Amino acid sequence: MNRFQQLGLGLLGLLFVAYANAQSVDFIEPRDGDTLPTTFTLKFKVDGMPLAPASDKREGVGHFHVLIDARDIEPGYVIPNDNQHKHFDKGQTESLMFLQPGKYKLTLQFADSRHRSYGEKMRKTINITVAGEK
């Protein structure tokens, strides 16, 4: 194997490790820009970090929160528990949601067992329109 092939394999290995360690969250549904009925299904996923119920106190694991028209929560700050901040303490990746007709900003935020935000790297925001029943 020549030096260029060795270099190429080394770079490919580094890219694989970087991809395997990438951490992110995302909405599976709805998608950004969707128009929805007042009751709809939320589905979300996490990559690069274990999903666990809030009762799991291990470092580096977390669970989901959905923020409705709320400001971003900085890393280390506790996510409130109110009508604008929905907690999925049991490690859920799916839930029914009810919203009145209107335009909304939904933010998916991953947080630790004490509901402390992992910040921007584990956050995804979409905008939706709730138009009423179809």
| In the chain, where the domains are located | 23-130
Cα–Cα distance, 53 to 33 (Å, whole number): 30
Residue 10 confidence (pLDDT) = 54
Cα–Cα distance, 106 to 126 (Å, whole number): 5
3 state SS of 40: strand
Is-contact 27 43, C-beta < 8 A? yes
Residue 100 confidence (pLDDT) = 97
Please determine, looking at this structure, whether the domain spanning 23-130 carries the CATH number 3.40.50.720. no
Q: Which residues pair with 51 in a beta bridge?
A: 62
- The reported pTM is 0.83
24 exposure class (CB count in 10 Å sphere: 0-12, 13-18, 19+) = middle
Q: pLDDT averaged over consecutive 10-residue blocks of the chain (134 residues)?
A: 57 46 92 98 97 95 98 97 96 97 98 97 98 70
